[in-house]
Structure 1
Amino acid sequence: MLTVAGQQLYAQLARQGIQDRRVLQAIASLPREQFVDEAMAHKAWENSALPIGYGQTISQPYIVARMTEVLLVNRPERVLEVGTGSGFQTAVLAQLASHVYTIERIKGLRYQARRRLQRLDLHNVSARHGDGWEGWPSKAPFDAILVTAAARETPRALLTQLVDGGRMVIPVGQLQQSLWLYERRGDEFLRTELEAVKFVPLVQGELE
């Protein structure tokens, strides 16, 4: 059963064009207030990005839903997430994929996210502290890859870790950012621009 806040978010996202009921249910069923600091809990269900510390944010529910819906068209089993953050996007993916591999460069965020996922009994997640630009080669290939921070350019290492037919959703750009969908077709990658977005930058080679 969805809470009242969950029902309202479900309806709002549906009005914004999100059609996949599995995605809507997954997002609306999560206790979003548990993924932000206590001081931000009263804003947790607003359709906006919120700070989570370390200069990072939790994405607005619409963007989480949009990226997830596009990513899961082929119902992937193994998903790589670059940028664990609060763990909210991870928790959404964990409800919809067989296994989620997630990378976070900030150790404190990784620790907090792992505790949240454990409290929600989401145990089909493998997490590591590392550089998201490099992906997770030892666990590749992946059916789908989702990047939750904006890269200045698309990391080639991530594209090569997709299976043939796999999909990657990633924000790219600095002052102006766009959300892109990549689809692997053998050694070629089809690229589709989805919409303008605003994310924190995807930092390369710096772990905290």
Structure 2
Amino acid sequence: MNARQNEQEGFAALVLRLRAEGITSKELLNAVELTPRTLFAPSPYENDAYSQRLIPLDCGAFMEGFDFAVRLLHCLAVKPGQRILEVGTGSGFTAAVMGRIAERVMTIDRYKTLVVNAQKNLEKSAIRNVIVRQADGSVGLAGEGTFDRILVTTAFTALPRIYSDHLVSGGILIVPIMTSETECRIVRLTRTGSRFDREDLFTAPYLPIVPQVASFL
């Protein structure tokens, strides 16, 4: 099976699984279909790009399973014209999908290796409205104003106030929270004025955030 056939079959199987969960957003699924995941998976794992397995990346990071990544984006509900912040770039895949819908996406990671590789992946995908930056995700993103949507893909031990302050009224923050030493859950915060509505969604494979920029990786 060639790469294109693998992409087509992998996407078709995903659509069937997501429909069973009630996820049918044409805008999101079109963006996913236009973003070949094989361009973001390391070459030894290209055949697993459309699977539900975790795929190892450099620096101890990983790509989420395909279904999990799309489920996260469904919960984030990205709309055209929005400004998005992603904390935890990884391979760049989720940023690329969001970039096909939103006006502008900024994605940050503490590891220079991941930032460089993600930038290359985005260039291969012809995505031009995603900015990749090396930064310490534990301290927020000073000087960048507010965002309509924020996706965090590294776990905090408590709700990070610094990111809720980056959120506009009507905005949505998706963040993994450690509920015990071994369990992590995805939490969605929706801001309305000064009020935040919290929803606990589902378990996640993320690890606690590590502060500071990595100097050598």
The two structures have a TM-score, normalised by structure 1, of: 0.92
Aligned equivalent of 2:199: 192
SS at match of 1:40: helix
State which drifts further: 156-165 or 185-194. 185-194
Q: Would the alpha carbon gap of residues 97 and 82 (structure 1) be closer, same or farther in structure 2, given more than 3 Å must change?
A: same
Deviation at 1:73, TM superposition (A): 6.0
Aligned equivalent of 2:17: 12
Residue identity matched to 1:202:
I
Q: Which runs of 5+ in 1 are unaligned?
A: none
Deviation at 1:59, TM superposition (A): 0.8
Please say if 1:100 is aligned against 2:100. no
The 8 Å contact of residues 13 and 24 in structure 1, kept in 2 or not, is answered as no
Deviation at 1:158, TM superposition (A): 0.6
Q: Would the alpha carbon gap of residues 186 and 59 (structure 1) be closer, same or farther in structure 2, given more than 3 Å must change?
A: same
Aligned equivalent of 2:134: 129
The two structures have a TM-score, normalised by structure 2, of: 0.88
Aligned equivalent of 1:202: 209
Please say if 1:44 is aligned against 2:44. no
Residue identity matched to 1:94:
G
Aligned equivalent of 1:180: 187
The 8 Å contact of residues 34 and 116 in structure 1, kept in 2 or not, is answered as yes
Please say if 1:170 is aligned against 2:175. yes
From 143, 151, 160, the equivalent of 1:155 is 160
Provide the identity percentage.
30
Deviation at 1:18, TM superposition (A): 1.9
From 60, 63, 67, the equivalent of 1:62 is 67
The 8 Å contact of residues 187 and 198 in structure 2, kept in 1 or not, is answered as yes
SS at match of 1:47: coil
SS at match of 1:67: helix
Q: Which runs of 5+ in 2 are unaligned?
A: none
From 32, 35, 52, the equivalent of 1:30 is 35
Deviations 1:46-68 (A, max 9, x none): 12221112111101122211221
Deviations 1:84-135 (A, max 9, x none): 1100111111111110011110000000000111111110011210111222
The 8 Å contact of residues 154 and 176 in structure 2, kept in 1 or not, is answered as yes
Please say if 1:89 is aligned against 2:100. no
From 56, 72, 78, the equivalent of 2:77 is 72
Aligned equivalent of 1:138: 143
